[in-house]
Amino acid sequence: MKSDADIGKLPFLRGVTSLLASFKHDTNAATAAIFAILLPVIIGFGALAFDVGVWTMRSRQAQGAADQAAYSAAVAAGLSTDGVTEGRAIAASMGFTHGTGGVTVDVTNPPATGAFAGSTSYWQVTISQPQNLGLAALFTTSTPTVVARAVAGNGGGGSCVIGLASSGVAVTFTNNSQLQQAECGVFSNGNVDIGNSNNVLIDADLFSGGTVNQGNNAIVTGTITTGLPQFADPYAGVTAPAATGSCIPEVKNGGSFLPGRYCSGFDLPNNATNQVLNLAAGVYYINQKFKIGNGFSIRGTGVTLVFDVPNPSNDVRIGNNTSFDIFAPTTGPLSGIAFMSTTAPNPSTFTFGNSNSISVQGAFYFPNSTLVMNNNLDSTRCTQLVAFRVELSNNATMRANCPGSGIRDFAGGTIALVE
């Protein structure tokens, strides 16, 4: 609490005190009359400044409560509890109880407005509270309302590599593997095999339901934890919508393409006259084969490629120096999935290599197959590898936290405030 002397030092009151002192020695009646008129105005502006200060402080408090409530609602939803109840409980604990004192705490999923409107991975909290006018009622009859809004949801991090096989080796690092991703971990239901592979550097935590075989030539800077319970498939239950429409003829040259049923697949030779494939947003159902020659560029935003080929080991072949610039959809049933396979028989193998540039934001999801990644992954994109078995070599640096990417994770993944 300020003493009288302290209060006298405040700039506003110091000015008023000086003004009063000057009037004390002024015998001019006109000056006294002007002062009498201005005094209520001066006091009123001071009162208004005080009330605005109170409203500003309350607005900041409401924003802090909205941030915490949105974050907690998203976490609760990831743990299969009631996000609305949790969000309102957090807001109440910070002084904003829904339905009390005119306070409204709206907790919605998905958000109705903003950049993440309609995305079920995100929760929006809006807090509103009418404020008392106080002395500001001298100047206005309009009651101000403090409004705060926040959105939180899956940041897409936590796990960069997930091996689903519960027996044998589920994740393998071969020679020259460089997984420099301290932000997210490697999860394996089965064993992890690093062995005596040369030039292996894993800057990530390893979590295994089995064991980790690490040879003397392999360097792991992260923490190794073994014997853990089985990890759930974050995309379990995902089913590609049934392919409809007529079959699109076999693709033998580059160009611009629409989503649909590619019943005869892609067979692009090295000497194709157009080596650029521009894919419009949507789902591409690829049957029979996906054979890409050397030097092709495949681009698309909001794209999922679904493979249903009889023999992936032979029928999925990607030539050297091929680049992928793909963004997975961020909403819908295939949210966060850039590549997936419906091929059931195991062991089937999908190989992405060699010397290719994989610039993909989204998941490679092959739950019944082995995914072999022999390429340089783009460190500016969130790329997730989820397969029955995963084999990695070369440089696999990936980002971990990409709010809005749609990438899924354990218990909702890494939660982040995004608005």
Model pLDDT, residue 70? 86
* Cα–Cα distance, 66 to 43 (Å, whole number): 35
H/E element, 316: strand 316-318
Model pLDDT, residue 12? 43
Model pLDDT, residue 344? 63
The model scores a pTM over 0.75: no
Cα-Cα-Cα-Cα dihedral of 67, 68, 71, 77, to 10°?
-130
Model pLDDT, residue 11? 45
Model pLDDT, residue 74? 79
Strand partners, 343: none
The long-range contacts involving 125-128, CB below 8 angstroms and separated by at least 24 positions, are: 125/66, 125/69, 125/70, 125/73, 125/87, 125/91, 125/149, 125/150, 125/151, 126/66, 127/62, 127/65, 127/66, 127/69, 127/91, 127/96, 127/103, 128/103, 128/104
Model pLDDT, residue 215? 78
* Cα–Cα distance, 399 to 96 (Å, whole number): 37
Model pLDDT, residue 46? 56
Pick out the chain residues at pLDDT < 50: 1-13, 16, 35, 411-412
Model pLDDT, residue 248? 94
Model pLDDT, residue 86? 86
Model pLDDT, residue 1? 36
Model pLDDT, residue 137? 58
* Cα–Cα distance, 258 to 262 (Å, whole number): 10
The long-range contacts involving 212-221, CB below 8 angstroms and separated by at least 24 positions, are: 218/173, 218/194, 220/194, 221/182
Model pLDDT, residue 159? 74
